[in-house]
Structure 1
Amino acid sequence: MAHVTVEWSANLASDFDLGALLRLIAETMRERADGTFPVGGIRVRGLRTDSYVIADGANPNDGFIDLRVLMGAGRSAEFRRSFFDSLFAEVRDHLGDLFDRRPVALSMYVEEAEGWKHNSIHRRLATTKAI
Structure 2
Amino acid sequence: MPHFTMEYSANLDGRVDFTALCQEIHATIMETGLFELGAVRVRAIRCESYAVADLLAENAFIDMSFRVGVGRSKGERKTTGDAIFATVTEYLAPLFETPHFALTLEIREIDPDLSWKKNAIHPRLRAASA
**TM-score, normalised with respect to structure 2:** 0.92
Structure-2 residue corresponding to 1:90? 87
CA distance in 2, matches of 1:72, 1:105: 27
* Residue in structure 2 matching 1:99, options 90, 96, 100: 96
CA distance in 1, matches of 2:18, 2:99: 17
CA distance in 2, matches of 1:63, 1:78: 31
1:98 is displaced (CA, Å) by: 1.4
**TM-score, normalised with respect to structure 1:** 0.91
| Within-5 A mapping of 1:16-95 | 16-30=16-30, 32-34=31-33, 36-57=34-55, 59-95=56-92
Structure-2 residue corresponding to 1:118? 118
CA distance in 2, matches of 1:102, 1:11: 15
CA distance in 2, matches of 1:86, 1:126: 26
Structure 2 residues without counterparts, runs of 5 or longer: none
* Preserved contact between residue 28 and residue 83 of structure 2 (Cα < 8 Å): no
- Among all aligned residue pairs of Structure 1 and Structure 2, give the percentage whose two residues are the same amino acid: 39
* Preserved contact between residue 69 and residue 109 of structure 1 (Cα < 8 Å): yes
Aligned residues, how many?
Answer: 127
Q: Which residue identity does 2:72 align to in structure 1?
A: R
CA distance in 2, matches of 1:102, 1:124: 46
1:90 is displaced (CA, Å) by: 1.1
Kindly provide the CA deviation profile for residues 60-105 of structure 1, in whole angstroms up to 9, marking residues without a partner as x. Answer: 0000001111111121111111121121011100112111145110
CA distance in 1, matches of 2:42, 2:64: 10
Structure 1 residues without counterparts, runs of 5 or longer: none
The alignment's C-alpha RMSD in Å is: 1.2
